[in-house]
Structure 1
């Protein structure tokens, strides 16, 4: 199993989107600045806002890239309000 996740930092007032087979462990890595050159290194108060289960790593990477290409906070908040959007995006995947 793999997951697409969206985390949020109150101190930065920013969202971050990623993929992982173990979201809780990945969150711990983000908050401990394990990823030295990652956008998430600017805060240590990240919390999970969405954990979306996906059958394959390829689909998780596809969704992660799709969301990041949108470069839209409104789009992320729309997904948080209605995660079914992610299923629709996957169903239209080429």
Structure 2
């Protein structure tokens, strides 16, 4: 199922926002250093997901959050989900 997700790295004290179809596989890829940026922050923890009907909708939501450039908003989203 397509989703938008937020990961967190304690090592970097940073959040990472992405979109994918298979969350389990994508988290695995982040934690084995599949991409250059996320390899610096291993281990990544999955803190938040939103499910969508298709990948395009998940990517639109990803871009919406990235454009906000707001750590405070991301942390509020995560805290509301818990």
TM-score where L is the length of structure 1: 0.79
Is 1:31 aligned with 2:31?
yes
Q: What is the RMSD computed on CA atoms of the aligned residues?
A: 1.2
Q: 1:33: how far off?
A: 1.0
Name the residue aligned to 2:50: 52
Q: Distance in 2 between matches of 1:60 and 1:82?
A: 19
Show structure 1 runs of 5+ residues with no match: 84-94
Name the residue aligned to 1:64: 62
SS at match of 1:82: helix
Name the residue aligned to 1:5: 5
Moved over 2 A (4+): none
TM-score where L is the length of structure 2: 0.89
Show structure 2 runs of 5+ residues with no match: none
